[in-house]
Structure 1
Amino acid sequence: MKEEHFKWYSPTLSKDIEMLVFGHAGYPVILFPTTMGKHNECRDMKLVESARWFVEQGLITIYCPDSINELSWYNKSIHPADRAKNHACYDEFIMNEVVNKICDEKGLQKVAVSGPSFGGYQAANFAFRHPERVSHMFSMSGSFDIKDFVGDYYDDNVFFNNPVDFLPESHHPDLWNMKIVLGVGEWDICLDANKRLAGILTEKNIPFWYDEHKWAEHDWPLWNRMFPHYLSKL
């Protein structure tokens, strides 16, 4: 399985960013790490390994970018407005420096996005904000309400990066064309969050697959089972 490491200075984030890329051909899948994870986490925790067959067959290429959660939602040392602003910059970074570049190189209009735990939030938030750029969204044990990270503070950056708030009001036609999977475990700490998002999608008549795994907890063994199964739907 071909693996490449990239490091560059991001003008959007004003910092160095790293990304691992796995594969030599195939449909692009952006895989976000968990809460404080970096570009190597999904490889080190064997999530990329679970998709080896798809990568080696040239069906997909997996892109694992850094997160900056330690500078945004999880940075308790700065004002909530700055946390939300920093995440808005990250969203811009993913669009301009990752997705647009991939689409230009491959001659595509859309990519797939996925991630476990907080990476599931990242995938869902990006997909629902930019459905014109996302064909498939696979969330694995994601949580989708970030208001707990900002307390009583609220502004446009909070609203437009909080899927349970902005999605009910979105009418972008590509939402109804996206292939959406909400994967979660029966004993998952994010079970209620997934049921809530499933309710929003149902109310809007947006097609999706709610995949609840019996006797499963919020952890890597569950996600390592989910990921290749969802990739088979590409």
Structure 2
Amino acid sequence: MKEEYFKWFSPHLNREVEMLVFGHAGYPVIVFPTSKGSFHENKDMGLIDSAKWYIEQGLIQVFCPESNDARSFYNKSVHPHQRIQNHVAYDKMICHELVERVRLNTGAAKVVVAGCSFGGYHAANFAFRHPGYVSHMFSMSGAFDIRTFMDDYQHDDIFYNSPLEYLPGLHDQELWNMDVVLGTSNWDICLDANLKLHECLEKKGLPHWLDVRQNQRHDWPIWKEMFPHYLSRIKFN
């Protein structure tokens, strides 16, 4: 399985960013790390190995960027306004420095976004904010409310990065063309969050799959089962 390391200076984040890329060809899949996770977390925890067959067959190429959570949502040393601005900068970095370049270099019209736990939030938020760029969104035990990080501070950028709040007002047709999977479990600490997003999507008539598995906890074993299963939903040429 081919593995490459990339490091570049991000003008949006005003710092260097690191990323691992797995595979030599195939449909581009961007996988976000969990809360404050590094670019090598998904490799270290075995998620990449769970998709090894798809990668070695040249069906997918997996991009694993680092997070910015320690500077945004979890950064209690700065005002909530700065926290959300740091997240907005990360969203711009993912969009303009990663997704747009991946689409250009691979020739793919769209990308898959995925993530576990808080990575599931990032995948869902990016997909719903930029539906024209995303064909599939696989959230595994995600949570989708960022208000708890914002100390009751109110700002439009908080609203427009909280899927449960802004989704009801979206009308982009590309949303209806996206394959959305919400993976969770009856023992998952984020079960309620997934049920709320499921209800929101149901009210909008947005097709999706709420995959509630049984008797597994909010941890890597269930995510390593989910990820290759969800990848089978991609229509490979």
TM-score band w.r.t. shorter chain: over 0.9
Partner of 1:194: 194
Per-residue CA deviation, residues 149-196 of structure 1 (Å, 9 max, x unaligned), is 002111111011110111111111000000000000111110000000
Task: Give the 5 Å matches for 1:85-234.
Answer: 85-234=85-234
Asked if structure 1 preserves the Cα contact closer than 8 Å seen for 2:28 and 2:108, the reply is no
- Farther-moved stretch of structure 1 (192-201 vs 103-112): 103-112
Moved over 6 A (4+): none
| CA–CA distance in structure 2, aligned partners of residues 73 and 122 of structure 1 | 12
TM normalised by structure 1 equals 0.99
| CA–CA distance in structure 2, aligned partners of residues 108 and 36 of structure 1 | 29
1:18 is paired with a residue whose SS is strand
Partner of 1:73: 73
Partner of 1:41: 41
TM normalised by structure 2 equals 0.98
Cα shift at 1:109: 2.3
| CA–CA distance in structure 1, aligned partners of residues 185 and 15 of structure 2 | 36
Task: Give the 5 Å matches for 1:51-70.
Answer: 51-70=51-70
State the percentage of identical aligned residues. Answer: 56
Per-residue CA deviation, residues 87-109 of structure 1 (Å, 9 max, x unaligned), is 00000000000000000111222
Q: Which amino acid aligns with 2:117?
A: S
| CA–CA distance in structure 2, aligned partners of residues 141 and 89 of structure 1 | 25
1:21 is paired with a residue whose SS is strand
Q: Which amino acid aligns with 2:73?
A: W
Consecutive unaligned residues of structure 2, counting only runs of 5 or more, are: none
Asked if structure 1 preserves the Cα contact closer than 8 Å seen for 2:28 and 2:63, the reply is yes
Q: Which amino acid aligns with 1:102?
A: V
Asked if structure 1 preserves the Cα contact closer than 8 Å seen for 2:128 and 2:163, the reply is yes
